[in-house]
Amino acid sequence: MRFQEVSIRKISENMWEIPQTGGMRVPGLVFASEAMMGEIVRDEAVRQVMNVAHLPGILRHSIGMPDIHWGYGFPIGGVAAMDPDEGVVSPGGVGYDINCGVRLLRTDLTASSLKPRLPELLAALHRDTPSGVGSTGSVHLSPKDEEKVLVDGSRWAASAGFGSGDDVEFTESGGKYPGADPDAVSAVAKKRGRDQLGTLGSGNHFLEIDEVAEIFDEKAAESYGLFHGQAVVQIHSGSRGLGYQVCDDYLSDMADYMRRNRIELPDRQLACAHIRSPEGERYLAALAAAANFAFANRQLLAHQARETFLKALKMGPRELGMRLVYDCGHNNAKFEQHEVDGRSRKVLVHRKGATRSFPAGSPEIPEKYRHVGQPVLIPGDMGNASYVLAGEPGAMRLSFGSTCHGAGRRMSRTQAKASVRGRSIAQDMAKRGVLVACASWKTLGEEIPEAYKDVTAVVNVVHDAGIARKVARLKPVAVVKG
């Protein structure tokens, strides 16, 4: 397969290598089926994989996942690991919504038992979950409390009565990135975040009730507390205006750093600074703070959802049996140990629209899951399916412990809106058996199922490539959209 002047080599059924050409420091590696690869080439996300390969200090490969599509700087679905001493950190390799991620809550209820109460429950969740552009939450932080959130993440939420120790244990990194410094976050960013804790936001963010429709791995599903026919809840949100502002602030700083240090790259959206530079270290401290805000945000959303279920269904906590399965981010940069050139090294892994996929035995997985691997949460579109996977050893060998993060867009938001003129999306969803409530019908048009790739095809690629294995398929039954 060719991309402009470059011949892309198929190295296995679901892996493609982009040769090292021009100023590329490493080859590119894309996980995709043949049919997907044609679409990826047309989207020109391949060009961004090649651009990322120019970054100083990049190790082994510039990587694209099967949900890859055009993004800011890095493609969405892009992964790159950097040498801490010679490498750089790039806000474009993390994204604007720092530590945006997914949280999965299991219950003891079946989806069929919820069905008669579903319209009432959805209305209550929509009412109690602040969503939409500029939405504000019920928790109004003082400047001092906001700084505690930026340092402690989910742990602050649990200590403030919005969660438990179990919620912290089953959140990636224990719900707290180390090295966070509130002083590295601008006053503007803090102001934007102060009233947004516990809010869903807009765009592709959602709170969703799903049914566990299919189990592929009984052992892992049992460990995660999942069973066939079960009602579960997914929450997808991030660091809101605070994270967006952090990204914006540091893109400007790093563009200046590149000029001063004569770093030349094929795309100015890859603005970066050396990891060990004051600029790089300050961005990583701000990134950690924004990530902690995102963890706390999803914790508050989950706490509110739990309270709404109890109130709307008039049942007690024991009968509901709602607890956190896992919370994992998919827009971040983290220091991790990985094997490079036959030895274990500390590297900085950028994941932009990609999630961790650590295998059984990893000390970074909660002890309860250590024998089966990390839960990997892959939301699809609101009309079809989402998946729970488990991390596999192949991810450590091939993709720096990473896998896809969702279905991936195949239409821009503008294209999606244009394609639905004259249609009632809510009625379309109802015909599929999915109830929808949203803050903006305009946003709903951007999020139609046709705007996304086939999540089953995406998940089959990572399953067959051995970087994550299928555990369960979830079917949406009710959705609150931002």
pLDDT in tens, 234-284: 999 999 999 999 999 999 999 999 999 999 999 999 999 999 999 999 999
Q: Within a domain: residue 429?
A: yes
Per-residue model confidence (pLDDT) at position 134: 72
3-state helix, strand, coil in the chain (%, to 5): 40, 25, 35
Range of the domain at 228: 101-481
Distance CA 319, CA 325 (A): 17
Q: Is the dihedral of CA 436, 440, 442, 444 positive or negative?
A: negative
CB burial string 417-439: b at 16+ within 10 A, e below:
beebeeeebeebbeeeebbbbbb
Q: Within a domain: residue 73?
A: no
**Distance set, CA 446 to CA 246, 324, 382, 407, 467 (Å):** 26, 29, 12, 15, 30
Distance CA 263, CA 418 (A): 40
Task: Tell me how far the alpha carbon of residue 274 is from its chain's centroid.
Answer: 25
CA dihedral 455, 209, 448, 456 (to 10 degrees): 10
3-state secondary structure of 223: helix
Per-residue model confidence (pLDDT) at position 353: 98
Per-residue model confidence (pLDDT) at position 90: 98
Phi-psi region of 319 (alpha: psi -120 to 50; beta: other; left: phi over 0): alpha
Q: Which tens digits make up the pLDDT trace of 108-127?
A: 999 999 999 999 999 999 99
Q: Within a domain: residue 287?
A: yes
Per-residue model confidence (pLDDT) at position 2: 66
Q: Within a domain: residue 322?
A: yes
Q: Within a domain: residue 28?
A: no
Per-residue model confidence (pLDDT) at position 410: 84
Distance CA 475, CA 379 (A): 10
Which DSSP helix (H) or strand (E) runs through 39? helix 34-43
3 state SS for 128-175: HCCCCCCCCCCCCCCHHHHHHHHHHCHHHHHHCCCCCHHHHHCEHHHH
Q: Within a domain: residue 21?
A: no
Amino acid at residue number 415: Q
| pTM for the model | 0.96
Distance CA 129, CA 380 (A): 21
- Count of structural domains within the chain: 1
The CATH number linked to 378 is 3.90.1860.10
Per-residue model confidence (pLDDT) at position 138: 77
Q: Which residues are catalytic?
A: 405
Low-confidence ranges of the chain (pLDDT < 70): 1-5, 132, 422
Q: Within a domain: residue 452?
A: yes
Q: Within a domain: residue 106?
A: yes
Distance CA 247, CA 239 (A): 11
